Structure 1
Amino acid sequence: MSDDIVDQAEAFDAGVTTSRNDAAHRYELHVGTDLAVIIVFRELPGHIDLIHTETQEGFEGRGLARVLVRYALDDVVASGKRIIPHCPYVAKIVARNPDLYRQYTDVPEDEF
């Protein structure tokens, strides 16, 4: 087992859960029972517009937002819809992982 794999496993909290909350139009990441990160989305025909990512106070700097963004992006791809990354943080994750997400992404029209 490489050191990188051990470091990643140790950094990940087993009490972390991710889910899609359709009633609230957001993806959620909980640490135990605490809501730690949300991504607000808007469902459009053929698309999911990821609008805003917010990490709650006390949960910053732990990489939790990145975990939730990857979960949300994978969920959109699995649903057969396309990603609209209005949230700058989501757009940054898409740009850093072009082999995984670029082919499923439509750039927001208001970006140009």
Structure 2
Amino acid sequence: MTETQTQTIVTRNDEDRRYEGHVDGVLAGFTVFRIDAKGRLHFPHTEVDPAFRGRGIAQTIVAEAMADVARRGETVVPHCPVVAKYLRTHEVPGLTIEWPDQPRPE
């Protein structure tokens, strides 16, 4: 990281059920999750403030969120295109993924 770049700090906000990305203390974006009856985290939406777009913040938020979910031993169900694309192109060690378009075993 160069001196002119700023770091995105990602935290889990359980009250609002989302992972938030802050840049210099300002909320730059977030990815929302909902927890189903089985305890799985469904990720329906990711959003970045227009003032922060083009900096890779969405990918940073999703990467940190997926790593945290893996550490917690939780399961992800990706509905958000940003989350789904990240998971299709990156391996997250220890992460359990249930793709919403996969048929359930009988």
AA aligned opposite 1:22: D
AA aligned opposite 1:96: T
Work out whether residues 34 and 43 of structure 2, in 8 Å CA contact, stay in contact via their aligned partners in 1: yes
Which range is displaced more, 40-49 or 54-63? 40-49
Residue 100 of structure 1 is matched in structure 2 by 92
1:65 aligned onto 2:63: no
AA aligned opposite 1:38: F
> Greater RCO between the two (CA within 8 Å, min separation 6)?
2
Q: Which has the higher helix share?
A: 1
TM-score (norm 1): 0.80
Cα distance in 2 for partners of 1:95, 1:23 equals 28
- What root-mean-square deviation, in Å, do the aligned CA atoms of Structure 1 and Structure 2 show? 2.2
- Matched pairs, number: 101
Structure 1: state its 5+ residue gaps. 1-8
Structure 2: state its 5+ residue gaps. none
User: What is the deviation of 1:55?
Assistant: 0.4
TM-score (norm 2): 0.84
Q: Which runs of 4+ in 1 moved over 6 A?
A: none
AA aligned opposite 2:6: D
